Chains A and B, each alone.
Chain A
Amino acid sequence: MGLFILRRLLMLIPTLLGMSVLIFLMLRLLPGDIVDIIVGADPQADSAARQRLREAMGLDDPIPVQYVRWLGDLLRGDPGVSLRSGKPVGQILWQSLPITVELAVLAVLMATVVAIPLGVISAVKRDTGMDFGARVAGLIGLSLPNFWIATLLLLFTSTQFGWVPKTRYISLFDDPLGNLKQMWLPAAAIAVQLMAIEMRMTRTTMLEVLNQDYIRTARAKGLRDQVVVYRHALRNALIPVITVIGFQLGALMGSSAIIEVIFGLNGVGYTLLQAIFNRDYPLVQAAVLYLAIVFVLINLVVDVLYAVLDPRIKQA
């Protein structure tokens, strides 16, 4: 197992390199750059001034040169400064990363706690009213855009209770209660869809597993249903579900951007969005790499779990 993890870790290096190239290229090919943002939509600076600014910021060098320079700095532990504020990119991300990670973890927790039992019950009690109800509820949850859910939640709490979550992030470690009070609503807005996805996946895989030969054999041998379900079926059914959860957790690392915008939380998603819109290259690059590292590590954990749960994978 140790070797397996080590191998996967080593495989991360080319992955991250590939990503860094990809994101670098994509950004440089986007039309418009930071100079246009600095100068503004209502242009007052002539093109010579723009050009001087571009040169001063090193945006005028060939792209490979820019890439190597950036990578070199990065490996020396210097991801650069924001082109807009001159603040160290590391510092900016250090402030915003906890918010996004917490949102993602909280949302996934909320979703999983509800979805897996619901999915299992739905599968076991297949075609009953219970199953039907759970499926339809899940499908409805799946059918609402999250910005819409978030807006409705905000509208509801602000008109009914005169309350909305604080927009200034309270660290979990400083004030756990205040933090949870602030985070539960945005996390819930994200969790609705996750819940539906996980529930459906659990139900599907559970149904498949329940129809596998070995389960039927076990049943035929007279093992009690509950034991069959929970000991054998669930374990196997959860393997694909874990992939999905891992994927969701990682995907939320940036995809919570919409929710962050609506709740005014300056998480990485929102920071990234602003940076992309403003062509703040160093920040975008570093943010995406940060997120990617977190994400890839989550995937690694998922793969390891996968291997633990399903010994067949290791051989493959």
Chain B
Amino acid sequence: MEQGDGLQFLKDLARGRLSRRELLARAGALGVGATALSGVVRLPGAVLAQDGGQAVGEVTWALESAVPNVIPFGAIALAQWWGKEFMYDSLMEFDQDMNIQPALAESFETPDELTYIFHLRQGVKFHDGTEMTAKDVKYSLDNAISPPEPGAPVPYFGNIASVDIVDDYTVKITMKTVDPTLPGVFAWAGYSPIVPEGIYDRINVLSEGIGTGPFRLVEYVQDDRIVYEAFPDYWKPGVPCIQKLTLKALTDEQARVAALRAGEIDGGTFSADVIRTLERDEEIEIQRGLTSAPRVIHFNTVNDVPWRDVRVRQAINLVVNRQEIIDKVYGGEAVMTGPIPPGYGDWFIPEEELASTFYAQDVERAKQLMAEAGYADGFSVTLQAIAAPRDHTQIAEIVQQAVKQLNIEVTVEPLEIGTFAKNIGEGAFEWAATARGMRGDPSGYVVDFRSGTALHQVWFGDGWKNDELDALYDEALATLDVARRHELYRRIQEIVLTEVANLYTVQPYKFQAARKRVTGWFVWYAGTNTSLREACVAAE
């Protein structure tokens, strides 16, 4: 029973034995199979370039913020991911439904719990014409584990003991402990691109890149645009279909709207309210989808603050109306979220249950709790929020109004991202409105609540910890039993929501719009524009 399901799943997957139906059914078993919610309008299917055919046409896609660089390894912000995703592949990849699929590894096996053996696809070419072999994979993974400067290490590869070359097309990864998250993290792709050995000595990896991806980087203009060209030797037949893909940073939304209408850009991301103005345009297709970006307001309990008392946090939770946030900030285009966001496989707590149980409102009870805690007269607090995009600040404003009922005076302090990031990282805030990004495994959404972790120390300190949660968290990471993992993460989320360790609010839908000449794209759950890898465009 224990471990069986997960391991079997990996084995089946590795041997390609699972049918698509089974894959869907068992999606999420490893915390990586997130099925997008309904509401994603899908096209009948991309017009694939005929086999061996030429990629055609040009697409210019707008990005909401400039790409700082295209660094292959280390911690990255979403914008960096946007910039580099088209030129790199990983060993595994997600499909449209967030199921793990083979990519540069054709298959993998797990002879024992602590060993992964990846069988590499043969004949895969890098953009410089050389063939990808095991030494490139070892070089890449070693760098992913401890990124060269200026990359900052990420925690996802901490359980890897060693990466060894078995032969030219076989790589063995030895784990320190049982770790069910690895294939998911690989499929997530942003942290584990496969690059040719020695790439750091050959090129400026911040503004250049050599990968095996469907597009090769031809021009990087800082803060402005990144130009990709189809890589004709891509290993996947019929891909890419677009000849030239330009990513253009257009930070002002009105500018994106105007440019999209005029055909200056072919697509981009828009807010729920703005998308309504594009609906009338017959040339433009709109798609809606969930992405992993749960909005959350952090309580800092390190210092001697009123909400070290759980009753204060619970009182606040009782007066914050999530539906109001959904309606006012997102024009109805959002759903309530707990720690693990909706759409992330079947790990999340459904909206109906959140609304009826954890987010039910009761102002009287809240006032009573405040009184019991000794704060009937309230207190004052500063709520930091990311200034752009604006929704963080807008949520903060709604919360500010809501807690006025409890005599809590909130000063909303919108901060540009640099300052905000610093404050969050150092715990230099009282209350902070932010969002979580995509995670390769459900554990990534709740790791901060595990006492002893770096962020727990700066966010909660000795002001909040939960022994039961700690035990559950550790058990969840040490088991491959899918059913048990579900129970554990379910219970962890209940604890977080009951104790109101953080104030989770909503998960907005992401809207993207594109000119109809582009086909085969859709909103990608991870928040990237990954579907463009296989999208097509009608020739002019």
B1 close to chain A: CB less than 8 A:
no
- A-B contact list, 5 entries, CB within 8 Å: A37-B421, A45-B75, A86-B204, A158-B262, A266-B223
Contact stretch, chosen from B45-53, B249-257, B341-349, B406-414 = B249-257
Per-position contact with B for A66-106: 1 when CB-CB < 8 Å, else 0? 00000000000000001111110000100100000000000
State which size class the interface on A falls in. Answer: 35 or more
Which of B76, B77, B220, B386 meets A85, CB within 8 Å?
B220
Excluding A41-B424, A56-B150, A166-B264, 9 further A-B contacts by CB distance (< 8 Å) are: A32-B418, A40-B421, A42-B434, A42-B435, A45-B74, A154-B255, A162-B261, A168-B248, A275-B223
A226 close to chain B: CB less than 8 A:
no
Contacts of A279 in B (CB 8 A): 418
Known: A45-B152, A84-B69, A85-B206. A158 touches B257 (CB 8 A): yes
A87 touches B222 (CB 8 A): yes
How many of chain B's residues have a CB under 8 angstroms from any CB in A? 58
Q: In the docked arrangement, what's the CA distance between A182 and B241, Å? A: 30
Contacts of A263 in B (CB 8 A): 255
- Nearest CB of chain A from residue B144's CB, rounded to whole Å: 13
- Nearest CB of chain A from residue B258's CB, rounded to whole Å: 4
Known: A50-B425, A56-B149. A278 touches B254 (CB 8 A): no
- CB nearest to B153 among chain A residues: A49
Contacts of B206 in A (CB 8 A): 84-87
Contacts of A50 in B (CB 8 A): 152, 425
Known: A32-B418, A41-B386. A85 touches B207 (CB 8 A): yes
Contacts of B261 in A (CB 8 A): 158-159, 162, 164
- Nearest CB of chain B from residue A214's CB, rounded to whole Å: 52
Which of A39, A53, A271 meets B149, CB within 8 Å?
A53
Known: A43-B425, A270-B223, A274-B66. A261 touches B262 (CB 8 A): no
Q: Which A positions have Cβ atoms within 8 angstroms of B?
A: 31-33, 35-47, 49-50, 52-53, 56-57, 82-87, 92, 95, 151, 154-155, 157-159, 162-164, 166-168, 261-264, 266, 270-271, 274-275, 277-279
Q: In the docked arrangement, what's the CA distance between A92 and B206, Å? A: 14
Q: In the docked arrangement, what's the CA distance between A279 and B75, Å? A: 17
Q: In the docked arrangement, what's the CA distance between A274 and B69, Å? A: 13
B216 close to chain A: CB less than 8 A:
no
Contacts of A84 in B (CB 8 A): 68-69, 206, 222
A41 touches B152 (CB 8 A): no
B426 close to chain A: CB less than 8 A:
yes
B454 touches A262 (CB 8 A): no
B450 close to chain A: CB less than 8 A:
no
B77 touches A37 (CB 8 A): yes
Among A41, A45, A47, A274, find the residue whose CB has the most chain B CB atoms closer than 10 A: A41
Q: In the docked arrangement, what's the CA distance between A83 and B435, Å? A: 26
Per-position contact with A for B142-174: 1 when CB-CB < 8 Å, else 0? 000000011111110000000000000000000
- Nearest CB of chain B from residue A287's CB, rounded to whole Å: 11
8 Å CB contacts to A: which residues of B467-498?
A: none
Q: In the docked arrangement, what's the CA distance between A307 and B254, Å? A: 46
Known: A50-B152, A85-B220. A42 touches B422 (CB 8 A): no
Contacts of A166 in B (CB 8 A): 264
Q: In the docked arrangement, what's the CA distance between A233 and B320, Å? A: 68
- CB nearest to B204 among chain A residues: A86
B152 touches A31 (CB 8 A): no
Contacts of A42 in B (CB 8 A): 77, 434-437
B455 close to chain A: CB less than 8 A:
yes
Q: In the docked arrangement, what's the CA distance between A159 and B281, Å? A: 10
B244 close to chain A: CB less than 8 A:
no
Q: In the docked arrangement, what's the CA distance between A55 and B220, Å? A: 27
Which of A82, A85, A86, A168 meets B225, CB within 8 Å?
A168
B418 touches A38 (CB 8 A): no
Q: In the docked arrangement, what's the CA distance between A57 and B152, Å? A: 12
Known: A36-B421, A85-B220. A157 touches B258 (CB 8 A): yes
